[in-house]
Amino acid sequence: MPSSLADEFPLAGKLTYLTTAGMGLIPRSAVEATRALYGRHLTAVPYPDLFDEFQEYVENGRRAFAPWIGAREEEVSFQSNASAGLNSVVSMVDPRKGDNVVVDDLGFPSGTFPAINLQKKGVEVRWVKNRDGMITAEDYEGVIDEKTRLVIVSLVSWVNGLRADIEGITKVAHEKGALCVVDSTHGTGYIDIDADGWKLDFLATSNYKWLLSTHGAGEFFCARNLLQEFDPPQLGWHSTPGGQAALSAEAFRLAETARRFEPGNPDYISIYTLTKSLAAMSRFGRRKITDKTLKLSVRVNEGMRGLGITVLTPTDKRHLSGITFGYSKKISGDDLAARLRKSKILVTPRSYHGKPGIRVSPYFYNEEKDVDVFLSVLKKLV
């Protein structure tokens, strides 16, 4: 088993990887464990032996993931990705003509597109607009009303990295009788999430970014008090409590846990990889991951500002995340990212409301020297 960050993330030592917001680096220990699992398909009996093990992997994954968002394992289900979870919420809440749904202009399309599509049914889509990259819970107060059925918000904006005041926004929504779904894709893994304390209704996330796992599975949280209120948009034999009753069409009964949102076999391999990646992250330490990531992010943010780059990402502790967005009038984001890559520095070109810049997202496998190298080359380019 790898004993250090350098062993776990060999690629981090070969280049300056500052684009975890695109995809994270998978730990060596998780890759090796998953490779070994694939290898067992050549020697183990597929059914029932491996299949029975796969069922255990799902429950182990639920158990391992739940604490990372402050939830109970019975509130967690596995979906194909965060987009599937967000769409499930929109489908279940089912806003009707005369209702409205609230989104903001910093959210990822997988949250806004399902809302926009509701306009065909006569549902109003209300937008909360940012001001120089900032949106507060107070901004939602004048938008949410008694006809608001659902609020869709990202914990961390995929564009500029604003960390939203989820607890405050959820409170505003609940005071008006609305529900709230949170896309936590860009915060799960390094931001302390308290699903219970924040009184979250729904949450969806992806594994292949800050959770350092593979594509194929994502987690969907539904608060325990809402599990019996909504019918899953898709049903199958996994939607039941399990056992032989799941194989009897006449004995249909929905599971009382979040399992009800899993119609069929999930991506067992991806879930297995997730548990191994979470184990590797836990060995490093959740608090250390948070502290190191945010410290590096501040270094990026302040360093870019010092070079005269316009940064539209807040630096205050309450809104800080692992993502920084900035742009220069002297060079486009695409050109900047391409030239940085020639120096083995990877960032992501992004356009923020017509401003072509770069998104920089260090993680705990990076070091301060990575940021310093990035800023040194950036200074020459701008």
- C-alpha to C-alpha distance for 269 and 126, rounded to whole angstroms: 39
Residue partners of 9: CB distance under 8 A and separation at least 6: 25, 27, 28, 365
- C-alpha to C-alpha distance for 350 and 99, rounded to whole angstroms: 33
Quick one: CATH architecture of 39-281?
A: 3-Layer(aba) Sandwich (3.40)
Residue bearing tokens 């609230």: 102
Say yes or no: do domains 5-18+285-381 and 39-281 share a fold.
Answer: no
Return the exposure string of 153-183: e unless at least 16 CB atoms fall within 10 Å of the residue's CB, then b: bbbbbbbbbbbbbbeebbebbeebebbbbbb
| Cα–chain center distance at 171 | 21
- The token duo for 346 is 């990877």
- C-alpha to C-alpha distance for 326 and 308, rounded to whole angstroms: 10
The whole-number pLDDT of residue 252 equals: 86
- C-alpha to C-alpha distance for 376 and 381, rounded to whole angstroms: 9
The ranges assigned to domains in the chain are 5-18+285-381, 39-281
5-18+285-381 belongs to which CATH class? Answer: alpha beta
The whole-number pLDDT of residue 75 equals: 98
CB 143 within 8 A of CB 102: yes
pLDDT tens sequence for the chain (382 residues) = 566 899 999 999 999 999 999 999 999 999 999 999 999 999 999 999 999 999 999 999 999 999 999 999 999 999 999 999 999 999 999 999 999 999 999 999 999 999 999 999 999 999 999 999 999 999 999 999 999 999 999 999 999 999 999 999 999 999 999 999 999 999 999 999 999 999 999 999 999 999 999 999 999 999 999 999 999 999 999 999 887 667 887 878 899 999 999 999 999 999 999 999 999 999 999 999 999 999 999 999 999 999 999 999 998 999 999 999 999 999 999 999 999 999 999 999 999 888 999 999 999 999 999 999 999 999 999 9
Which candidate, 192, 206, 201, 96, places its Cα nearest to that of 152? 201
Total Cβ atoms within 10 A of residue 32: 13
Q: CA-based Rg of the chain, rounded to a whole angstrom? A: 21
The whole-number pLDDT of residue 2 equals: 62
